[in-house]
């Protein structure tokens, strides 16, 4: 079988070095990122995403949190904005206006997670992806919201999911993908499935499995050796968001280089 779609990247040698040398030196030209996440009981994910985006070289980042956190956080995180929440302290449906307004300001949006389990937030997410057409990166529990109705996210252009193999399994099961995604999969069978998935759907996929980071976009696949850490999804997702903002129209190259950048940071 032809495996020319699969490229292997060393974690100390970028596959696409031209992206490293062509980065914007002026912060004003390095892009604007909106990080969305948090609930009354936790905001570690958006806070870490903010820090990681800075390390990845973003120009400006805003963080959008539910207003239940306003008294707790204040200006603990720079450039923090707040949107309406429900009684449980998660984003409410009424937050859609703020989400869309700040997304319009940004060059890309990162749904960082810690959203909490809430049916109203699920409705908000579905509404947001239906109205926002820009660059979108999704990770942690933000991705879990789409397993019940996967078509909307799988078929959405300019969308990247940074997820675990378990989340990929749930997503593919919900989408009735014909080949089961298994925890026991070796690198080649998983690369083949990611190749086929991203040939079928518009979504980009970034998945860590057996200490290999898989990037799949438009049928192309790359792998990079990366040990699993507790916060790998947030770190990787932040770098993916930044590199895509700075390299529009080159998602595979940007995401593969983002993984290299994550390894080096």
Tell me, letter by letter, the H, E, C secondary structure of 148-185.
CCCHHHHCCCCEEEEEEHHHHHHHHHHCCCCCCCCCCC
Nearest to 216 by CA among 250, 246, 252: 252
pLDDT tens-digit readout, 90-129: 999 999 999 999 999 999 999 999 998 888 999 999 999 9
Say if residues 166 and 137 touch (Cβ distance below 8 Å): no
Domains of the chain, start order: 6-16+28-264 (3.40.1190.20)
Give me the DSSP letters along 77-122: STTEEEE-B-TTSSBPGGGHHHHHHHHHHSSEEEEEE---S-HHHH
What pLDDT does residue 74 have? Answer: 65
What pLDDT does residue 1 have? Answer: 57
Place of tokens 């086929």: 196
pLDDT at 219 over 60: yes
What pLDDT does residue 224 have? Answer: 97
* Average pLDDT score over residue span 160-169: 97
What pLDDT does residue 229 have? Answer: 82
What pLDDT does residue 103 have? Answer: 98
Place of tokens 């809430």: 118
What predicted TM-score, i.e. pTM, was given to this entire model? 0.96
What pLDDT does residue 75 have? Answer: 64
* Average pLDDT score over residue span 239-249: 97
* Average pLDDT score over residue span 12-33: 92
Integer CA distances (angstroms), 234 to 1, 122, 126, in order: 35, 20, 21
Q: Mean pLDDT in the chain? A: 94
Per-residue confidence band for 231, with pLDDT thresholds at 50, 70 and 90:
confident
């Amino acid at each position: 079988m032809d495996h020319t779609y699969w490229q292997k990247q060393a974690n100390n040698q970028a596959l696409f070095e031209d992206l490293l040398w062509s980065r914007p030196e002026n912060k004003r030209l390095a892009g604007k990122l909106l990080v969305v996440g948090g609930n009354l009981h936790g905001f570690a994910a958006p806070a870490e995403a903010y820090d990681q985006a800075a390390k990845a070289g973003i120009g400006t980042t805003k963080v959008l949190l539910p207003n239940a956190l306003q008294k707790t956080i204040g200006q603990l995180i720079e450039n923090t904005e707040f949107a309406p929440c429900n009684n449980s302290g998660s984003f409410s449906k009424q937050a859609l206006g703020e989400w869309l307004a700040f997304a319009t300001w940004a060059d890309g949006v990162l749904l960082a997670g810690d959203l909490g389990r809430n049916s109203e937030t699920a409705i908000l997410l579905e509404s947001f992806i239906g109205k926002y057409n820009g660059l979108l990166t999704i990770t942690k529990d933000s991705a879990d919201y789409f397993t019940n109705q996967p078509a909307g996210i799988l078929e959405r252009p300019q969308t990247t999911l940074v997820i675990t193999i378990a989340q990929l399994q749930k997503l593919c099961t919900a989408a009735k993908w014909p080949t089961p995604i298994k925890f026991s999969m070796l690198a080649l069978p998983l690369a083949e499935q990611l190749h086929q998935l991203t040939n079928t759907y518009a979504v980009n996929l970034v998945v860590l499995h057996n200490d290999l980071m898989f990037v799949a976009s438009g049928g192309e696949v790359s792998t990079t050796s990366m040990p699993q850490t507790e916060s790998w999804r947030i770190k990787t997702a932040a770098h993916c968001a930044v590199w895509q903002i700075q390299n529009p129209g080159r998602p595979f190259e940007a995401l593969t280089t983002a993984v290299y950048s994550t390894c080096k940071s």
